Structure 1
């Protein structure tokens, strides 16, 4: 404790003997009577010992309380301006730590919720494949459709993890959107055949963007268009200064439209038909925002849905 006290107050402790030596040299050089020096030294030394003793006692009590963890009593003794500034800094860091902890816990809860929804979605195609295997009624079209759904759900989860951890690797380049859409439709041809849907693609659009992430966003929209279309319906994709995807599906309730981009929100139709996960459109909106694109959705019940994507 004495060593710590000397370390903290070493400047003041060393100042006194330095001053004593300076005065002694002054008396000696000017040949002043040393009697006055020794009397003054005795008096000043007594005062210094009392002051140092009080300072040590206060330092000892403060250190003892700090070491014992009794912060409430010790903080009242930290009343110097530098101590107050340090306490304010600690308070700010504590508040920041609490905020970061709340954010981390919120992300953990969101991830747990997403994984739970994802696991329920994965069960549907897995159960369908298992049923086909048990009954022996396995067709290539049905099997390809279920495998495509599994790949789609898996891609959703992996890309959600990338977005939530902000590890998305955007690479902007000139993209022929028509070619991207055509290839995407080819990937989903099994679903189109299964529901007997017709597809029409009109126009061209060249855009400087990230091809991989734009494709993922469009895949979410096209998957929803197929999923909620009636058998024998049609889907139209128009390209000009943007992308317009129209379907003739069951549509979205007007009161659900303002919330469709919220994470975990499925809406009435998604809940009723048990097809929505609640994070496909959320990820689509997040990706398009980072690509500096605007998405707008208009829909009417039983009259289909129109999704428009354009530059800001």
Structure 2
């Protein structure tokens, strides 16, 4: 800030120094003017000018220092009140622009919330005919056609469910209800949803749930399991998917292991990034790259740590480590 102040006042400083130099030069040329007293006066003037600069630095930079330290939170109370006319011009401009930004932000927020509410309402409305469609498919006699239609129905159902949770993820903290949840009930429920797809692909499940009860939000934990199990089925051709739970260091651990195509080591650090699909199957247009991103977004507020072990052609293991009970006692009250 000192360097900026000196640059701003450089022309005034040079003007003062030039004036003092002219006085000394005239006294040097004119024998009628004693040089020594002039030099003494110039010296005192320089000291006075330096003191003046220090005083003006403190007064003139107070307002701009507050601007430099101001966090762009649209809160103008953090800025020092302007003193000089030029500072008032800056302050008035800031106030006007800030108020305009606040109004625009409020309008955009209202518009966004309205669009989100309309989309959520539309998704819920679409689920009704989807349920009816599923009941119709279940009554079909042609088994081959029934399997195909069930698979396509399931894809639509899962995509709508993913979009519904994507819209809610920004407000997940307001939607959480921590309670005792049965892992067995959640896992079995999600497997039943994928049953027709698993039968068509010849995929079975092996459950080894030694630890059943965890403290979590049932709805969001079910969504996390749904995404991981869906990926496990999607990228497996046949065989079994193993789901096991156990206690490690006083924490419940849930592992979901498939023996599908696996994940390349260069992709592992990026699989939870928004929009990332794969470098192995980059031509796969069916993948949106949103499922695992939403899994990580939902897991963080639940206190669940997720890690992945995988190798191409050997399958993948997703590990969910749940927080200890006492970390959620205050939130849940259970």
1:142 is matched with which residue: 140, 144, 148? 148
Query: Shift of residue 204 of structure 1?
Result: 2.4
1:180 equivalenced with 2:195 (yes/no): no
Task: Summarize the Cα distance change of 1:141–1:81 in structure 2 as closer, same or farther, 3 Å threshold.
Answer: closer
Q: Which residue of 2 aligns with 1:267?
A: 278
The Cα shift of 1:84 comes to 5.7
What is the aligned partner in structure 2 of residue 154 from structure 1? 160
Q: Is the 8 A contact 2:265 2:311 kept in 1?
A: yes
The TM-score normalised by the length of structure 2 is 0.54
Which residue number in structure 2 is paired with residue 281 of structure 1? 292
SS of residue in 1 equivalent to 2:274: coil
C-alpha contact 2:271 2:292 (8 A) present in aligned 1: yes
The CA deviation at 1:273 is 3.8
Q: How do residues 181-220 of structure 1 correspond to structure 2 at under 5 angstroms?
A: 181-202=187-208, 203-220=210-227
Cα 1:93/1:303, change in 2 over 3 Å: farther
1:212-248: per-residue Cα shift (whole Å, max 9, x none)? Answer: 1110111000000000012x22100011122100000
Within the alignment, does 1:306 sit opposite 2:313 as a pair? no
- 1:1-312 to 2 correspondences below 5 Å: 79=85, 85-87=91-93, 89=95, 139-164=145-170, 169-202=175-208, 203-230=210-237, 232-240=238-246, 241-312=252-323
CA-to-aligned-CA distance 1:157-213 (integer Å, 9 cap, x gap) = 111112246686211111011111111111111111011012101022311111011
Rounded Cα–Cα distance in structure 2 between residues aligned with 1:206 and 1:86: 60
Contact 1:205 1:242 in 2 (8 A): no
Bigger CA radius of gyration:
1
Q: 1:295: how far off?
A: 0.7
Shift of 1:307: 0.2
State the TM-score, normalizing by the size of structure 1: 0.58
Contact 1:184 1:215 in 2 (8 A): yes
Task: Give the Cα separation in 2 of the matches to 1:276 and 1:270.
Answer: 10
| Contact 1:78–1:84 (CA under 8 A) maintained in structure 2 | no
Larger deviation, residues 142-151 vs 220-229: 142-151
Question: CA-to-partner distance for each residue in 1:132-177, whole Å, 9 max, x for gaps?
Answer: xxxx995222222221111001111111112246686211111011
* 1:23 aligned partner: none
Q: Unmatched 5+ residue regions in structure 2?
A: 1-82, 117-141, 247-251, 324-334
Question: How many residues get paired?
Answer: 206
Deviations 1:44-69 (A, max 9, x none): xxxxxxxxxxxxxxxxxxxxxxxxxx
Deviation (angstroms), 1:83: 6.2
